[in-house]
């Protein structure tokens, strides 16, 4: 092969390498962008059964078919809970035209937060229907669900509970974590709720 | 006819060729990892694995949330970004092993040849440092200075690998530049162009840092208008880019017109230098006109590393020419 032929062969190889790298990186960049915009499926919640303030059992089956916003609270909390409750209350009002979005507050202080206490707390938050539920369960079960289901550390309860709001979809899958004290983060959650509403349940 | 240094080598001609091929492969692998690093940066996957050296507490990125350890914030989990960053780390690790093999071969066969053994040892040390420093980049949550150091070290490693490959080639073919005649002072011109290119890369790094602050400084400004807010530095960068290309054109003309019996290595090096300098100016112009598309940002950085490599190759070739006179 003469030197010009060799040169052409090399040029083709180099151009092919550049082309392949360009196409591959375009695909990767697009996939990365899409992955940031989509609401990822982060994991499946395990089955559980707690008691709702009305006394009826409440478990994973009651979450399915609805978009769920979950938080962990306790009624005696003087720290971030009042702000969390206000934010949750605002969301509860925002989505009052539909029962497709359900709000779930799980007590991390079950010894104190009896069903009666939870009932009174719900009334103080202005809850008038079943769209916002308040759950009571044995502390071991609550810790287990928090750590193994929601993947959130549950040390130093009740005071050290998380301030995150967790978005769970119509199939009981975790779709996002948001700062329950931050409006910007909750703004993203609202966008995600809209996206979940468009998904086939 | 081989020189004294060749006689110091105990592995035979075949072993020498094998070493050169391995060093060349390490050079290609380093360029690939540099490309991957650029890809990690523009795709925003730098914190795809928030811990180091593991990824979400495991040696393989988890595929679902249930595999995360409780101490890791689950909201950080994004499978795509985790895998992009993980492949970059994996590439870096494989490269580390290849460079380690180069070093072991250099110790075994070239320990009396400083121009092979010294860069091989330095490259192995730097690649180990680079692995550790990558962890610092993650721990600092992508601090600008740390990211720039990471890139700078990668450029030094690739330069060392090119140098090792070329010196191994000259051990095998010591007379490669013996019959060539090159214009006087050509190595100085190349050296000067290398320095200009180096300054140009630093300016580019500075511009990139300024661009990354744009969303915070001008939250409503579209990406296509960011470059206009960078200031005079972007004009200096563009002018210097054109000056480097003109310089490369002048040097390549001098090599092809005023030389005799130009070696194949110098021919290819000069052609590559010219092609890459032109390509770099075109990419830069498209970046400015089209509005900084991510894929071109990777190539802008990557072609800069290739250009620096071609200049180093030419400089070493002219030093070899001087030595063989």
Average pLDDT over residues B75-95: 90
The whole-angstrom distance between A185's CA and the closest CA on chain B is 12
Q: Are residues B1 and B139 in the same domain?
A: yes
pLDDT for residue B1 is more than 50: no
- Cβ <8 Å between B42 and A151: no
Report domain extents, chain A.
1-37, 43-198
Q: What is the pLDDT at residue B219?
A: 67
Angle, CA of B45, B49 and B53, to the nearest 5°? 130
The yes-or-no verdict on residue B181 having pLDDT over 70 is yes
Whether residues B107 and B250 share a domain: the answer is: no
Most B CBs within 10 A among A14, A17, A35, hence the mutation to make, goes to A35
Q: Is the same domain home to B208 and B144?
A: no
**Which numeric CATH code is attached to A43-198?**
3.40.30.10
Residue B188 and residue B114 share a domain:
no
* Domain end call among B174, B198, B226: B174
Of the candidates B174, B202, B223, which is a domain's last residue?
B174
Residue A88: burial class (beta carbons within 10 Å; 0-12, 13-18, 19+): buried
Mean of the per-residue pLDDT values for chain B? 90
On whether both B125 and B186 belong to a single domain, the answer is: no
CA distance A107 to A120: 14
- In terms of domains, do B6 and B66 share one? yes
Strand partners, A57: A51
Interchain pair A43, B65: CB under 8 A: yes
**Domain C-terminal end among B174, B193, B218:** B174
Same domain membership, residue B186 and residue B137 = no
Domain count, chain B: 2
Together in a domain, B122 and B241: no
Looking at the fold, whether B324 and B259 belong to one and the same domain comes out as yes
pLDDT at B50: 86
- Asked if the Cβ–Cβ distance from A44 to B66 is below 8 Å, we say yes
Q: What is the pLDDT of residue B6?
A: 55
ipTM of the complex: 0.83
Note the pLDDT of residue B175: 86
Question: Does residue B226 share a domain with residue B152?
Answer: no
- What is the pLDDT averaged over residues B284-313? 93
Question: What pTM was estimated for this model as a whole?
Answer: 0.76
Tell me the HSE value of A10 on the side-chain side, using a 13 A CA sphere: 11
pLDDT score recorded for residue A96: 86
Say which residues have a Cβ less than 8 Å from residue B56's Cβ, sequence separation at least 6: B49, B50, B62, B67, B68, B69, B72, B77, B82
A-chain residues near B271 (CB < 8 A): 7
Domain that holds residue B217: 178-325
């Amino acid at each position: 092969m003469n030197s010009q032929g060799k040169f052409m062969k090399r040029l083709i190889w180099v151009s092919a390498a550049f082309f392949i790298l360009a196409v591959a990186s375009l695909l990767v960049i697009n996939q990365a962008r899409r992955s940031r915009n989509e609401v990822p499926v982060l994991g499946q919640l395990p089955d559980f059964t707690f008691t709702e303030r009305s006394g009826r059992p409440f478990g994973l089956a009651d979450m399915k078919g609805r978009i769920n916003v979950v938080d962990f609270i306790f009624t005696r909390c003087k720290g971030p809970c009042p702000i969390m409750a206000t934010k949750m209350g605002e969301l509860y009002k925002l989505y009052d035209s539909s029962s497709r979005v359900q709000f779930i507050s799980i007590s991390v202080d079950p010894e104190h937060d009896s069903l009666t206490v939870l009932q009174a707390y719900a009334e103080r938050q202005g809850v008038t229907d079943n769209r916002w539920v308040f759950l009571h369960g044995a502390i071991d079960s609550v810790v287990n669900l928090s750590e193994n289901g929601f993947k959130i550390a549950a040390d130093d309860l009740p005071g050290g509970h998380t301030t995150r709001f967790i978005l769970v979809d119509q199939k009981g899958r975790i779709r996002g974590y948001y700062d329950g004290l931050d409006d910007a983060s909750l703004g993203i959650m609202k966008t995600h709720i809209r996206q979940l509403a468009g998904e086939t349940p | 006819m081989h020189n004294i240094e060749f006689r110091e080598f105990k592995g035979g001609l075949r072993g020498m060729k094998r070493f050169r091929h391995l060093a060349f492969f390490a050079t290609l692998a380093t360029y690939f990892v540099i490309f991957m690093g650029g890809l990690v940066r523009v795709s925003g996957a730098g914190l795809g694995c928030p811990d180091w050296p593991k990824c979400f507490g495991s040696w393989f990125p988890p595929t679902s949330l249930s595999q995360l350890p409780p101490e890791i914030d689950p909201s950080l989990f994004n499978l795509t970004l985790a895998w992009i960053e993980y492949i970059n780390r994996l590439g870096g690790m494989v490269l580390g092993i290849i460079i380690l093999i180069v070093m072991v071969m250099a110790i075994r066969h070239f320990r009396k040849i400083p121009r092979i053994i010294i860069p091989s040892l330095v490259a192995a040390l730097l690649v180990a440092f680079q692995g550790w420093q990558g962890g610092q980049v993650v721990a600092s949550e992508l601090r600008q200075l740390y990211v720039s150091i990471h890139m700078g070290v990668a450029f030094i490693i690739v330069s060392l690998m090119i140098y090792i490959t070329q010196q191994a080639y000259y051990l095998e073919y010591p007379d490669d530049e013996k019959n060539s005649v090159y214009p006087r002072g050509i190595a100085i011109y190349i050296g000067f162009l290398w320095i200009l290119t180096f300054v140009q890369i630093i300016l580019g790094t500075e511009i990139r840092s300024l661009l990354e602050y744009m969303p915070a400084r001008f939250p409503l400004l579209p990406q296509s208008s960011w470059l206009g807010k960078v200031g005079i530095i972007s004009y200096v960068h563009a002018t210097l880019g054109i000056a480097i290309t003109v310089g490369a054109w002048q040097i390549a003309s001098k090599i092809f017109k005023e030389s005799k019996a130009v070696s194949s290595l110098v021919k290819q090096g000069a052609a590559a230098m010219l092609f890459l300098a032109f390509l770099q100016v075109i990419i830069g112009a498209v970046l400015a006109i089209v509005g900084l598309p991510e894929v071109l940002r990777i190539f802008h950085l990557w072609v800069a590393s290739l250009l620096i490599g071609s200049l180093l190759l030419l400089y070493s070739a002219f030093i070899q020419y001087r030595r063989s006179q």
